[in-house]
Amino acid sequence: MTMTTYLKSLPVAALMLMTGCEKYLDKEPIGILTEEQVQTDPTVGTLTGAVTNAYVPLASTLNLFGDWNWTQGLVVRNDFIVEDIASGDANKKWNPDGDQAWMDDVAAFNFTPENGAFNGLWTYDYEGVSRTNLAISQLTDDAIIQKIGMSSELRNRLLGEASFLRAFYYFNLVTNFGDVPLLLKPLANFNEAYDVARRSTTAEVWAQIDIDLAAAAGLLPNTKYSVDDERWRVSRGAVIALQAKSALYQQRWQDVVDQVTSLEALGYYSLNANYFDAFDTGKEFSENEVIFAYDHQQGVLPRRGNGLTALLGWGFVAPTDDFLNAFEANDPRSAYTVNTSDQAVYKLLGATNTDNKGNDDSPVNRIYIRWADVLLWKAEAYNELGNYPEAIGIINGIRTRARTTPVLGGGMAPAGTLPARNVAVTDKAQVQQWLDHERRVELGFESHRFSDLRRWNTAKAVLTAMGKNFQDRNYLYPIPQGEVDKSAGSIMQNQGY
Give the pLDDT score at 41: 83
Average pLDDT, the chain: 92
Burial 70-100 (b: 16+ CB within 10 A, else e): ebbbbbbbbbbbbbbbbbbbbbbbeeeeeeb
Asked if residues 463 and 475 have their Cβ atoms less than 8 Å apart, the reply is no
Give the closest residue to 159 by CA, choosing from 6, 48, 83: 48
Give the pLDDT score at 190: 64
Who contacts 198 (Cβ-Cβ below 8 Å, separation ≥6)? 181, 490, 491
Average pLDDT over residues 131-141: 96
Kindly report, residue by residue over 419-440, the tens digit of the pLDDT: 999 999 999 999 999 999 999 9
Terminal alpha carbon distance of the chain = 47
What count of other Cβ atoms lies within 10 Å of the Cβ of residue 112?
Answer: 11
pLDDT band, very low/low/confident/very high, at 39 (cuts 50, 70, 90)? low
- Torsions phi, psi of 317, nearest 5? 65, 95
CATH topology of domain 11-220: 1.25.40
Q: What's the per-residue H, E or C state across 160-174?
A: HHHHHHHHHHHHHHH
Kindly report, residue by residue over 93-115, the tens digit of the pLDDT: 999 999 999 999 999 999 999 99
Average pLDDT over residues 383-400: 98
Give the closest residue to 156 by CA, choosing from 170, 145, 171, 168: 145
What three-state secondary structure class fits 269?
Answer: coil
What count of other Cβ atoms lies within 10 Å of the Cβ of residue 305?
Answer: 23
Who contacts 306 (Cβ-Cβ below 8 Å, separation ≥6)? 59, 60, 61, 296, 361, 362, 363, 364, 365, 366
Measured distance CA(137)–CA(163) in Å, rounded: 11
Among residues of the chain, what percentage have pLDDT more than 90?
88
Give the pLDDT score at 6: 31
List the beta strands (DSSP E) in 112-186: none
Amino acid, single-letter form, for residue 49: G
Who contacts 356 (Cβ-Cβ below 8 Å, separation ≥6)? 281, 309, 312, 349, 350, 362, 363, 364
What count of other Cβ atoms lies within 10 Å of the Cβ of residue 213?
Answer: 28
Give the pLDDT score at 31: 45
Average pLDDT over residues 398-427: 98
- Torsions phi, psi of 93, nearest 5? -140, 160
pLDDT band, very low/low/confident/very high, at 67 (cuts 50, 70, 90)? very high
Instruction: Say if residue 28's pLDDT is above 90.
Output: no
pLDDT band, very low/low/confident/very high, at 400 (cuts 50, 70, 90)? very high
Q: What's the whole-model pTM score?
A: 0.93
Among residues of the chain, what percentage have pLDDT more than 70?
91
Measured distance CA(287)–CA(301) in Å, rounded: 27
Distance of CA 473 to the CA centre of its chain: 23
Q: Which range has the worst mean pLDDT, 17-21, 44-48, 264-268, 317-321?
A: 17-21
Give the pLDDT score at 35: 36
Kindly report, residue by residue over 157-194, the tens digit of the pLDDT: 999 999 999 999 999 999 999 999 999 999 877 667 77
Measured distance CA(494)–CA(477) in Å, rounded: 8
What three-state secondary structure class fits 145?
Answer: helix
Who contacts 23 (Cβ-Cβ below 8 Å, separation ≥6)? 66, 69
Give the closest residue to 358 by CA, choosing from 344, 347, 368: 344
Average pLDDT over residues 49-67: 96
Phi and psi based region of residue 456 (left: phi greater than 0; alpha: psi -120 to 50; beta: remaining): alpha
Burial 141-156 (b: 16+ CB within 10 A, else e): eeebbeebebeeeebb
CA angle 474, 106, 485 (to 5 degrees): 70
Average pLDDT over residues 364-391: 98
Instruction: Say if residue 410's pLDDT is above 80.
Output: yes
What count of other Cβ atoms lies within 10 Å of the Cβ of residue 256?
Answer: 27
Return the domain boundaries, the chain: 11-220
Measured distance CA(388)–CA(402) in Å, rounded: 21
Asked if residues 66 and 230 have their Cβ atoms less than 8 Å apart, the reply is no
Amino acid, single-letter form, for residue 256: V
Asked if residues 186 and 137 have their Cβ atoms less than 8 Å apart, the reply is yes
Instruction: Say if residue 13's pLDDT is above 90.
Output: no
Give the closest residue to 166 by CA, choosing from 190, 197, 132: 132
Give the pLDDT score at 188: 74
Q: Which range has the worst mean pLDDT, 33-47, 373-387, 456-470?
A: 33-47
Give the pLDDT score at 192: 74
